[in-house]
Structure 1
């Protein structure tokens, strides 16, 4: 496993499968090809038809092959955030050589850390190292070559249903590919689409996908909270299809061409032609279409708002970063800002051919892979059970070695217990404005009235 050379990112989503080929040098990503196909075997981010998903992956790969005239056999794939729990895990081992700690000891400590009791249908999906402790010295980033008898790894384990990765692995293998790495989607996004300051002070990341909507809080450069709601762009399309009695394909096209996230922003004078099944074409206004879309958007915004409000997430200074294919609906930023009372900004890649928020998942995947230092790669190798290899140290990676920093000793708990981001008390003024949920309900009531 390495983080330079050609890296192929695979984002298997509910509506589309995206493949992004990049050339990475010195942690700089140069996108060289993009492939995209319609997804037929995925529901709410989970592969439910292995054969269909394998064919969709092949279709997307064929596009990048035409663009590059090359065959690709290894991919890094993203894992959706379904029913994720976060736990602080620790693994301690006696070093093989008390005079010289090696990366083999890092591998052993990682395996000890992930050796935790889990339910039969659960597994560790991803792992991020927080710090190493050599004997009594904590805050070590890279213990290689240090002297000590005991090595402890403290890490965040992301635990979820085994089904999330087992079917995905099978589909990738049936497509004729080797799986190089698996990365939790919110983890990749939190380290790439948010600036260093936003990661430090606290920011909400909102991924408006096709099958589900995911809210992630990053603070102190760590994920503090992940929550998903099982509705997204696919549900909006289905609502349009059901209300107007048109096919899903026509409903999707209508949503993309004329969809508005809330009635307040719709143009009633703008008329649209639709063809109901078995009937003559009819004319509806953009306002009528926006009322269908707005009802589902209200549901999504309200449900996630309730969860985020319980942990005072709207007090975080970083505001909200919005991505995902459904965020391209017009005025989505505006309704989030008005409903939540915070600044919301849309993120999309700047590279040619990727300037759409739907490509953020694949883009974040390859950029996250490019940023990984040697220790992070070794920890991931050990977690996935891959053969242990160490790339030769270059000048770029040396700056990560033998550094010691102070890491806050924060306890990370499961999502059900709701991780509380640390927010200064003086930033909250309960007397100055109504509660967030009252604002959401009042704002949407005004729209539909």
Structure 2
């Protein structure tokens, strides 16, 4: 890894598209830019309108570019949704070096061997994650580089998804004039950010409550063992508020963000707000308690469904706690309600970086950490060439230069005076 490199993660969610720019210096990540835009064209995590999704991606990228003063041409994207499936497979190769020392080439070959698996024609492999390596039958090896052996094996988790969902996502990113450097399963990215090594080993459920869906990911033995997506999330809370207060969805979302509380007992009676109701020009006053009476039942349902799903996946008695993430868990009272409903130890994971200290940024920051941790920075990042006057970013592989818009022309104009 070079001394300073730039990686950009792109989190395409149901309510927001977020681009996070990370500067990697000697393995340490520094967040230098964040761009976000309202997500259009996506419903419950699935793309329903290509053009609207492309515009949302471009808006988020432009926002991030303006913040840092660079041009982004390569991104890491997160994959999630109901179409994701996991399966285990085994790969075996003979060590090729004459001195029997295991090198990068051997690891690459055994990982390729693990990818040989029968799949239905509508599915394709997103990634292969090694659970453990075996050298001449010796188990439990996490990194066999430099070891001496004749036979190298790997037990790996194969991550697959439907071609339709994957290709539509890739199509949107490419139409936004971006090159995809890496595809990362969002559960792995968020787990890299949110969970400690002990939590991954002992058995922990990572619950990502987004706007359109809730992703349940179970970690055990140091890795991801199961994942599932529930079609319920923060948007359902907003819709409940819209119906309950008889107001527009946009207004309901604002009230949720400003006055929302997941637990009635945590809500304040003196927190009051006025609502312009549909079909009327008269405002009606409500309290935070009134709002909590609408929100709490839906949040209870979400946690009840999470607990049911963990049981269905066969890990009801095997987990030692829950970790919550996603934009919806920022609402006051969510942690207390989760502890009541899940009857287990629960905490909320928040990124420890300036500018992104919000559970909503867990996935984006997690992608950066996952890529760096897995030593892929050289192949996926863009080299940052810095000078005292301006920053430019060049890609190490495919670079696409979009036509200069108004912002680019203005930037070029002002750069002459700096």
Which bracket does the TM-score occupy, shorter chain normalised?
A: 0.7 to 0.9
Residues 254-403 of structure 1 aligned to structure 2 (within 5 Å): 254-280=255-281, 281-309=283-311, 311-313=314-316, 316-317=319-320, 319-373=321-375
Q: State whether residues 131 and 139 of structure 1, in contact with CA within 8 Å, keep that contact through their aligned partners in structure 2.
A: yes
**Match of 2:353, SS?**
coil
Q: State whether residues 3 and 369 of structure 1, in contact with CA within 8 Å, keep that contact through their aligned partners in structure 2.
A: no
**Which residue number corresponds to residue 386 of structure 2?**
none
**Match of 1:191, SS?**
helix
Q: State whether residues 16 and 39 of structure 1, in contact with CA within 8 Å, keep that contact through their aligned partners in structure 2.
A: yes
Residues 11-410 of structure 1 aligned to structure 2 (within 5 Å): 11-94=11-94, 99=99, 102-143=103-144, 150-280=151-281, 281-309=283-311, 311-313=314-316, 316-317=319-320, 319-373=321-375
**Match of 1:192, SS?**
helix
Q: Which stretch shifts more, 344-353 or 321-330?
A: 344-353
**Which residue number corresponds to residue 405 of structure 1?**
none
- In structure 2, relative to structure 1, the CA distance for the partners of 1:138 and 1:264 (3 Å cut) is closer
CA deviation string 1:185-225 (max 9, x = no partner) = 11112222112222222222111111111222212211122
- In structure 2, relative to structure 1, the CA distance for the partners of 1:288 and 1:129 (3 Å cut) is same
Root-mean-square deviation (CA, aligned residues, Å) is 2.7
CA deviation string 1:9-68 (max 9, x = no partner) = 110000000000011123211110000000002122222222211211111111121122
Q: CA deviation at 1:284?
A: 2.4
Mapped partners of 1:186, 1:3: distance in 2: 29
Q: State whether residues 209 and 232 of structure 1, in contact with CA within 8 Å, keep that contact through their aligned partners in structure 2.
A: yes
Mapped partners of 1:344, 1:312: distance in 2: 16
CA deviation string 1:405-443 (max 9, x = no partner) = xxxxxxxxxxxxxxxxxxxxxxxxxxxxxxxxxxxxxxx
Tell me the number of residue pairs that the alignment of Structure 1 and Structure 2 aligns. 378
Q: CA deviation at 1:142?
A: 4.4
Q: State whether residues 233 and 326 of structure 1, in contact with CA within 8 Å, keep that contact through their aligned partners in structure 2.
A: yes
Mapped partners of 2:317, 2:140: distance in 1: 31
Mapped partners of 2:251, 2:276: distance in 1: 9
Q: Which stretch shifts more, 23-32 or 287-296?
A: 287-296
**Match of 1:115, SS?**
coil
Gaps of 5+ in 2: 380-395, 398-418
State whether structure 2 residue 4 is matched by structure 1 residue 9.
Answer: no
Q: State whether residues 76 and 184 of structure 2, in contact with CA within 8 Å, keep that contact through their aligned partners in structure 1.
A: yes
CA deviation string 1:152-204 (max 9, x = no partner) = 33211122322332111111111111101011111112222112222222222
Q: CA deviation at 1:369?
A: 1.2
Mapped partners of 1:2, 1:222: distance in 2: 28
- In structure 2, relative to structure 1, the CA distance for the partners of 1:91 and 1:155 (3 Å cut) is same
Q: CA deviation at 1:70?
A: 0.9
Q: State whether residues 193 and 362 of structure 2, in contact with CA within 8 Å, keep that contact through their aligned partners in structure 1.
A: no
Q: CA deviation at 1:327?
A: 0.4
Q: State whether residues 300 and 337 of structure 2, in contact with CA within 8 Å, keep that contact through their aligned partners in structure 1.
A: no
Residues 422-437 of structure 1 aligned to structure 2 (within 5 Å): none
Mapped partners of 1:202, 1:293: distance in 2: 30
- In structure 2, relative to structure 1, the CA distance for the partners of 1:145 and 1:260 (3 Å cut) is closer
- In structure 2, relative to structure 1, the CA distance for the partners of 1:298 and 1:147 (3 Å cut) is closer
Q: Is the strand fraction higher in 1 or 2?
A: 2
- In structure 2, relative to structure 1, the CA distance for the partners of 1:102 and 1:315 (3 Å cut) is closer
Q: State whether residues 193 and 351 of structure 2, in contact with CA within 8 Å, keep that contact through their aligned partners in structure 1.
A: no
Q: CA deviation at 1:313?
A: 4.0
Q: CA deviation at 1:240?
A: 1.6
Gaps of 5+ in 1: 379-386, 389-449
Mapped partners of 2:346, 2:372: distance in 1: 27
Q: State whether residues 314 and 342 of structure 1, in contact with CA within 8 Å, keep that contact through their aligned partners in structure 2.
A: no
**Match of 2:268, SS?**
coil
- In structure 2, relative to structure 1, the CA distance for the partners of 1:296 and 1:22 (3 Å cut) is same
Q: State whether residues 39 and 56 of structure 1, in contact with CA within 8 Å, keep that contact through their aligned partners in structure 2.
A: yes
Q: State whether residues 46 and 80 of structure 1, in contact with CA within 8 Å, keep that contact through their aligned partners in structure 2.
A: no
Q: CA deviation at 1:314?
A: 6.1
